[in-house]
Amino acid sequence: MKDILQELENRREQARLGGGQKRIDAQHGRGKLTARERIELLVDEGTFEEFDMFVAHRCTDFGMEKNRPYGDGVVTGWGTVNGRVIYVFSQDFTVLGGSVSATHAMKICKIMDMAVQNGAPVIGINDSGGARIQEGVDSLAGYGEVFQRNIMASGVIPQISVIMGPCAGGAVYSPAMTDFIFMVKDSSYMFVTGPDVVKTVTNEVVTAEELGGASTHTKKSSVADAAFENDVEALAEVRRLVDLLPLNNQDKPPVRPFFDDPDRVEPSLDTLIPDNPNMPYDMKELILKTADEADFYEIQEDFAKNIITGFIRLEGRTVGVVANQPMVLAGCLDIDSSRKAARFVRFCDAFEIPILTFVDVPGFLPGTGQELGGVIKHGAKLLFAYGEATVPKVTVITRKAYGGAYDVMSSKHLRGDFNYAWPTSEIAVMGAKGATEIIHRADLGDEEKIAAHTADYESRFANPFAAAERGFIDEVIQPRSTRKRVARAFAALRGKKLVNPWKKHDNIPL
């Protein structure tokens, strides 16, 4: 019996070593952790249970039968994050470069199937050289099986991808279909074709970092949601995100203890809006002063900064926040901000996370670049996302809400539940000057008349009361009481039930 137990321990030790100590040292030398070290940082201490430790590939071509390491380049299993179950796979770059074989993919698929079956998030830690060339189409078939599971799990369980090394070719499409993608600066990259192929085909000379590094994907392409300095910080932030999310689409987000009075008033908000309507202010100040303990988990902070998306807690419960940012492009909606916010709203709706919208939007960004880029279709994505969402929706208009952008930003007409406005808000088709010049174009040469017409328009429409008279605004509230009113609104909406007409699926304007 002792011999058998010793053999088991020897085999486990061999599996834990992955590609051997030399390759582990090389991984550390690049500032990267090993697959198992990453999992230990991600899950609560001592909770990781590994599956398929002894799985080995079945390839016999190109002498591969002589090199059959345990685990086959991926560590899979389950554990807990703050006591809640998650499933995880972590690719091991020390074993055959973390390349994906048929059995490697089979291990990932097994974990994803278990995650869906048991209603728990799946977290994928990607660090792979791509498809295992020696296996040919078997490797591609493995990728295809993983892709199909990503699709079936979408909107059922949260899927989080952490890119901690190379991710190239077909490998990028699995993370692309997950809900959140995090990268590590200077050690991770994603692209469909690498710099060498780009140079061969197009004669463009580009580095891996420029083509698919963390900065590129967080600031320009919007492929990634955030980038962090190292593996440790990235995994700590993943833990923080998991703690905000429900385990699945039948579950509610976790309720955490809070130490912030829901009735807290913030007198400083009464002076947040500048007297000059063209002066910017920082919308993040309002978000932080509304949230429990001023805690805000921002999503895609470095992309389309004219709109802010992320999670806060109110009375210990997760709420998704979408807010125009007057500091950037005056808070205008454009192609990038519409796409960013639409995807976030759809995630919140899929997982029953209530949505809080802060509005200060002068309209859609004008220009040929926007029109030729399809701003109509992209703007419609955000409109569609808000309109189809059935979760509790609370909206606060702080200043400008002009034109179609007023409708788009979770207005009463898109089934907003509680629509509040500050006294400083202006709800109109457009600004007073532009409106006056259209309505009274016959008086354009007379500055006194135009000034009088403008003042008249402002007194009629540059306030929230015309909308409030029609019931489009439920109440005009004091800025200082925003946290209290919003918290009470969401408390009142906890039992909300709204079902859209049956359909196989919608046809959102992609």
Query: With contact defined as beta carbons under 8 Å apart, do 361 and 406 qualify?
Result: yes
Whole-angstrom CA distances from 76 to 35, 105, 502 are 10, 11, 37
Residue 42's contacts (CB-CB under 8 Å, 6 or more residues apart) are 79, 81, 86, 88, 123, 125, 235, 238, 239
**Which is the catalytic residue, given 323, 380, 405, 489?**
405
Is residue 316 part of the annotated active site? The answer reads: no
Instruction: Quote the crossing angle between the two packed helices 482-492 and 283-290, to the nearest 10°.
Output: 60
Q: What is the 3-state secondary structure (H, E, C) of 135-189?
A: HCHHHHHHHHHHHHHHHHHCCCCCEEEEECCEEEHHHHHHHHCCCEEEEECCCCE
Is residue 405 part of the annotated active site? The answer reads: yes
DSSP class per residue in 30-62: TT---HHHHHHHHSPTT--EEE-TT------GG
Is residue 170 part of the annotated active site? The answer reads: yes
399: nearest Cα among 281, 490, 482, 267? 281
93: nearest Cα among 27, 11, 175? 27
Q: How far apart are CA 47 and CA 11, in angstroms?
A: 21
For β-strands 226-228 and 180-184, DSSP reports them as: parallel
Is residue 404 part of the annotated active site? The answer reads: yes
Q: Which residue is associated with the tokens 């703007």?
A: 379
Q: How far apart are CA 402 and CA 362, in angstroms?
A: 5
**Which is the catalytic residue, given 169, 212, 310, 379?**
169
**Which is the catalytic residue, given 144, 194, 373, 404?**
404
Query: With contact defined as beta carbons under 8 Å apart, do 120 and 85 qualify?
Result: yes
**What is the distance in angstroms between the CA of the first residue and the CA of the last residue of the chain?**
62
Read off the tokens for 491.
């408390």
Q: Is 4 exposed, middle or buried (0-12, 13-18, 19+ CB in 10 A)?
A: exposed
Whole-angstrom CA distances from 479 to 27, 211, 310, 397, 418 are 52, 45, 21, 10, 15
Phi, psi of 253 (to 5 degrees): -60, 150
**Which is the catalytic residue, given 170, 316, 373, 403?**
170
Active site residues: 169-170, 404-405
